[in-house]
Structure 1
Amino acid sequence: MKRTEKKRKDIIDAAIEEFREQGFLGATTTSIAKRAQVSSRTLYNHFDSKEALFEAISEIMIERNNCMEPVPYDPGRDFAQQLKDALWRYIEVITEETAIGLNRMVLSELIRDLERSQKFFNESETHDYPITRLISEAMNAGVIRKADPGFATNQLLVLVKGFFFWPEFFLGENPTPKEVLADCVAMFMAHYKMGT
């Protein structure tokens, strides 16, 4: 990693900690620079404002939530099992400790600032979930009925996140039994079965 890249990463890491502890309004670029052990001038060479720093962190969060490779459909395997396997990988990514911390920090600010929230969600909508490809290709193969694959993915993930992401986010633990994932997939399959 080049020296300038390392300084940029140090600034972002420091900003995440500062935003987490002080909130967006309480955080200052001076405190962030001090945490990162860089001058304010160096910070401003990388980010022209506290808002720019927050946007960079928001983008990192979106990228982390989408860091799984798109999952292709395998016609030689049971589709429901493929969905379960892909969803478990996705759950592991979004409930990893750093990812949860980033989500808490960013979402707390989005609740406070409607304009920033709208901008964030507009940006996040341009990213495809890794499971969208699997669902799209299964639709094209005639395994499940055709529909908008992005919409179908969102329906499934709302169910899954309700049981496996939000308890971790709010409680720091997940009391949901693993078997619940099979129920989520079964509901999805019942809704998208051929002939409905």
Structure 2
Amino acid sequence: MTLSEKKRLQIIASAEALFASSGLEATSMDQIAAHAGVSKRTVYNHFATKTELFAAILEAMFSKVDQGPLITYDAARPVDQQLTDIARQEVAMLASPAFLQVARVAFLQLLKDAALAQAINKPSMGCLRYLEPFLKEAVADKALDITDSELAAKQFVFQLKSLIFYPLLYSLSDDMSQHEYFIEETVKLFMARYRPLA
């Protein structure tokens, strides 16, 4: 690792600590430079704005989130069992401390800063990396009857988010005892909508 790369990581770590304690707006680039033990010019050489720096922090945090392996459709297994596996993997990510930390750090700032939202407009995370192709393969195998795989994938994930992720994000509930029940009900609802007619 070069000296420049080490300084970049120092800046990101210092900014993350300061943003977490004081917020983005209340933290100056001077404070970040002092905390990181580098010059203000060095900070600006790596990050032209605080928005760029904040985006880099979120990227670093996202990289620590365990998204689980890609799951491919298996014609030899019942599709509802496979969807249950996918839902469990998604819930493990959504309820993980690493993912919740990213969401809590980012949420309010993203509402205020459209440029930041564009800067970290990530490719799909979690099961959305592979769920649409999975569903298309299940349709081709006549295990599901779906005309809009993109919408169906979002319906599946957003149901889990509404029942599990958002209550955790907003500290409305920290009860994880019902997660398996929510997973089972989400799969049942999905299958009721997309099971092929006999």
Coarse TM-score class (shorter-chain normalised): 0.7 to 0.9
Aligned-pair CA distance for 1:106: 0.9
Structure 1 unmatched ranges of 5 or more: none
Matches within 5 A, 1:18-167: 18-60=18-60, 67-113=67-113, 115-116=114-115, 119=118, 123-124=121-122, 126-127=123-124, 129-130=128-129, 131-167=131-167
Asked whether the equivalents of residues 61 and 103 of structure 1 are also in contact (C-alpha less than 8 Å), the reply is no
Aligned equivalent of 1:188? 190
Residue in structure 2 matched with residue 170 of structure 1 by the alignment: 170
Larger gyration radius, structure 1 or structure 2: 2
Q: Which residue of 2 aligns with 1:15?
A: 15
Structure 1 vs Structure 2 CA RMSD: 2.7
The one-character-per-residue Cα deviations of 1:151-175 (angstroms, maximum 9, x if unpaired) are 1111111110112211221118532
Query: Are the structure 2 counterparts of residues 191 and 99 from structure 1 closer, same or farther at C-alpha, using a change threshold of 3 Å?
Result: same
State, as a whole percentage, how many aligned pairs show the same letter: 26
State the 1:103 CA deviation: 1.0
Structure 1 residues 133 and 27: alpha-carbon distance in aligned structure 2, compared to 1, 3 A threshold: farther
Instruction: Indicate how the Cα distance of structure 1 residues 39 and 173 shifts in structure 2: closer, same or farther if over 3 A, else same.
Output: farther
Matched-pair contact (CA < 8 Å) for 1:132–1:149: yes
TM-score of the superposition, structure 2-length normalised? 0.82
| Matched residue count | 193
- CA gap of 1:133–1:70, structure 2 versus 1, over 3 A, is farther
Q: Per-residue deviation at 1:38? A: 2.7
